[in-house]
């Protein structure tokens, strides 16, 4: 694992500097957690020369679903070629090996950045969905007092089953957020603690918000990873918890990535859509599929939220 961590740091150092982020979060605990989601163990494709690692791509399995059909999506992450070995086709070869390893009705997918998008295009990956970035300025103010309906707590199967009905819509694909996935994603993350709050009024009155604080571009901000609610009023109630947190901690920005709310929810909650040229990355889900069901589930309408980007 040490050599793998060194490769990751060498590959991403310059890239992360652009965001004002140090690479010290890249460590073996993070990868051990990330490559073992509930759907199974991840796979690594590695290119070596004389025994030394030059390039690597990791894929980890996640369930995706639409209209009662589930497929495994192998999510490519931590795509890295040493600066001295770039431009020789190593990344493309690793992707091809992973594509050839796909089982029936499986997907090789990713949210590639502009460095890795050409490689995905070369192996035939096409875009399936796009999620814009939204930002909200939190003016100083008093904390809200009435929020008895919103509770914090753990993910339980009852709650997540209720949430599932909010998230899974006919004709729309999503990453499966069952209790195992949410527990792995948020409760077991080795480096971050997330604030998890629910509205739990039975099947008709449910909601979830998951957020955490971070520092990027030298600015403290709150990232909204999950934000689902059965009504606009409940969505606002949940957001108020994150707003209170910002006010207490003097955090002035909230950021999310989502294609699940439009301009109306944006106006109601004062989130502004960041024009694409100003966003740090265009979050596009791209992939290649094997099999007809995988094609139908992947090349479909999608609901995406920031939590789907595993790096946050």
Ligand X SMILES: CC(C)(COP(=O)(O)OP(=O)(O)OC[C@H]1O[C@@H](n2cnc3c(N)ncnc32)[C@H](O)[C@@H]1OP(=O)(O)O)[C@@H](O)C(=O)NCCC(=O)NCCS
Using CB under 6 A as the criterion, which residues of the chain lie in contact with ligand X when the complex forms? 11-12, 15, 55, 79-81, 86-92, 112-113, 115-116, 118-119
Query: 297: which residues sit within 8 A by CB, 6+ positions away?
Result: 64, 65, 66, 69, 70, 71, 107, 173
Q: Least separation, in Å, of the C-beta of 290 and ligand X?
A: 21
Q: How far apart are CA 108 and CA 116, in angstroms?
A: 14
User: Residues 300, 132: contact at Cβ < 8 Å?
Assistant: no
Q: Which is nearer to ligand X, 36 or 113 (CB)?
A: 113
Q: Least separation, in Å, of the C-beta of 87 and ligand X?
A: 5
Task: Give the three-state DSSP class for 221.
Answer: strand
Q: How far apart are CA 305 and CA 312, in angstroms?
A: 11
Q: Which is nearer to ligand X, 16 or 241 (CB)?
A: 16
Q: Least separation, in Å, of the C-beta of 41 and ligand X?
A: 21
Q: Least separation, in Å, of the C-beta of 276 and ligand X?
A: 17
Q: Which is nearer to ligand X, 91 or 261 (CB)?
A: 91
Q: Least separation, in Å, of the C-beta of 160 and ligand X?
A: 29
Q: Which is nearer to ligand X, 118 or 124 (CB)?
A: 118
> For the chain, what is the largest distance between any 2 Cα atoms, rounded to a whole number of angstroms?
64
> Could you say which DSSP state residue 6 is in?
H
Q: Which is nearer to ligand X, 118 or 280 (CB)?
A: 118
Q: With CA atoms as reference, report the closest residue to 121 among 85, 87, 96.
A: 96
């Amino acid at each position: 694992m040490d050599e793998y961590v060194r490769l990751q740091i060498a590959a991403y150092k310059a890239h992360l500097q652009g965001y004002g982020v140090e690479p010290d979060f890249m460590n073996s605990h993070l990868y051990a957690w990330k490559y073992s989601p509930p759907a199974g163990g991840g796979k690594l494709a590695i290119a070596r020369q004389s025994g030394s690692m030059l390039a690597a791509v990791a894929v980890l399995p996640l369930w995706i679903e639409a209209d009662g059909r589930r497929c495994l999506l192998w999510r490519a992450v931590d795509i890295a070629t040493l600066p001295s070995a770039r431009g020789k086709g190593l990344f493309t070869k690793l992707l091809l090996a992973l594509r050839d390893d796909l089982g029936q009705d499986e997907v090789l997918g990713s949210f590639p950045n502009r460095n890795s998008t050409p490689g995905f295009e070369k192996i035939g990956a096409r875009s399936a969905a796009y999620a814009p970035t939204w930002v909200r300025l939190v003016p100083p103010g008093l904390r809200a007092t009435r929020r008895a309906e919103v509770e914090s707590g753990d993910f339980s199967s009852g709650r997540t089953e209720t949430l599932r009905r909010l998230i899974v819509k006919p004709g729309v694909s999503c990453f499966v957020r069952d209790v195992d996935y949410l527990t792995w994603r948020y409760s077991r993350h080795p480096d971050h603690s997330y604030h998890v709050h629910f509205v739990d009024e039975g099947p008709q009155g449910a909601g979830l918000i998951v957020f955490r604080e971070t520092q990027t571009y030298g600015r403290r901000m709150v990232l909204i990873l999950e934000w689902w609610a059965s009504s606009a009023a409940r969505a606002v109630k949940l957001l108020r918890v994150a707003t209170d947190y910002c006010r207490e901690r003097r955090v002035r920005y909230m950021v999310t990535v989502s294609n699940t709310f439009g301009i109306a929810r944006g106006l109601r909650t004062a989130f502004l859509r960041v024009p694409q040229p100003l966003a740090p990355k265009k979050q596009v889900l791209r992939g290649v599929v094997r099999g007809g069901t995988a094609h139908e589930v992947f090349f479909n309408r999608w609901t995406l939220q920031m939590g789907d980007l595993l790096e946050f």
